[in-house]
Structure 1
Amino acid sequence: MINSVIKVSQLIKQVETQEGPLKILKGIDLDVKSGESLAVVGPSGSGKSTLLGIIAALDTPSSGNVSIDGVDLSNLDEEQKAQLRKQKTSFVFQSFMLVDTLTALENVMLPAELSGLKNAKEKALQWLDKVGLSHRLHHLPKQLSGGEQQRVALARAFISQPKVLFADEPTGNLDSANGERVANLLFELNQAQGTTLILVTHDQKLAMRCQRQVQMEDGHLIELTQTPIAVGE
Structure 2
Amino acid sequence: MSQAPLMIETKNVTKKVTTNEGELQILHPISFQVKAGESVAVIGASGSGKSTLLGLLAGLDEVSTGEITLDGEPLHSLDEEQRARLRGEKVGFIFQSFMLVQSLTALENIMLPAEIAGLPNAKKLANDILVKVGLEHRAQHFPNQLSGGEQQRVAIARAFITNPKILFADEPTGNLDSVNSKKVEDLLFALNKNSDTTLILVTHDSQLSEKCDRQLRMTAGELVEQQPRLKVVSGD
TM-score range relative to shorter protein: over 0.9
Q: How many Å apart are 1:225 and its aligned residue?
A: 4.0
1:224 maps to 2:227: yes
Q: How many Å apart are 1:15 and its aligned residue?
A: 1.7
Q: How many Å apart are 1:228 and its aligned residue?
A: 6.6
1:68 maps to 2:32: no
For the aligned residues, what is the CA RMSD?
A: 1.2
Q: How many Å apart are 1:157 and its aligned residue?
A: 0.7
* Residues 63 and 76, structure 2, Cα contact 8 Å, conserved in 1: no
TM-score, normalization: structure 1?
Answer: 0.95
Report 1:201-212 matches (<5 A).
201-212=203-214
Structure 1: distance between partners of 2:95 and 2:213: 21
Q: What's 2:61 paired with?
A: 59
Secondary structure of the 2:153 match is helix
List alignment gaps of at least 5 residues for structure 1: none
Q: Deviations over 1:108-152 (max 9, x none)?
A: 101000001121100100000000011011000001100011111
* Residues 211 and 228, structure 1, Cα contact 8 Å, conserved in 2: no
* Residues 209 and 228, structure 1, Cα contact 8 Å, conserved in 2: no
Q: How many Å apart are 1:20 and its aligned residue?
A: 2.9
Structure 2: distance between partners of 1:140 and 1:39: 31
* Residues 38 and 214, structure 1, Cα contact 8 Å, conserved in 2: yes
User: Matched residues, percent identical?
Assistant: 58
- Which shows bigger deviation, 173-182 or 219-228? 219-228
Q: Deviations over 1:80-127 (max 9, x none)?
A: 110000000010011111100000110010100000112110010000
- Which residue identity is paired with 2:126? A
Structure 1: distance between partners of 2:71 and 2:160: 17
Regions of 4+ moved over 3 Å: none
TM-score, normalization: structure 2?
Answer: 0.94
Structure 2: distance between partners of 1:109 and 1:19: 44
Report 1:19-168 matches (<5 A).
19-168=21-170
- Which residue identity is paired with 1:76? L
191, 199, 202: which one aligns with 1:200? 202
Secondary structure of the 1:21 match is strand
* Residues 212 and 229, structure 2, Cα contact 8 Å, conserved in 1: no
Structure 1: distance between partners of 2:161 and 2:231: 26
Q: Deviations over 1:189-233 (max 9, x none)?
A: 00000000000001111110100001001222121243279xxxx
List alignment gaps of at least 5 residues for structure 2: none
Structure 2: distance between partners of 1:124 and 1:74: 32
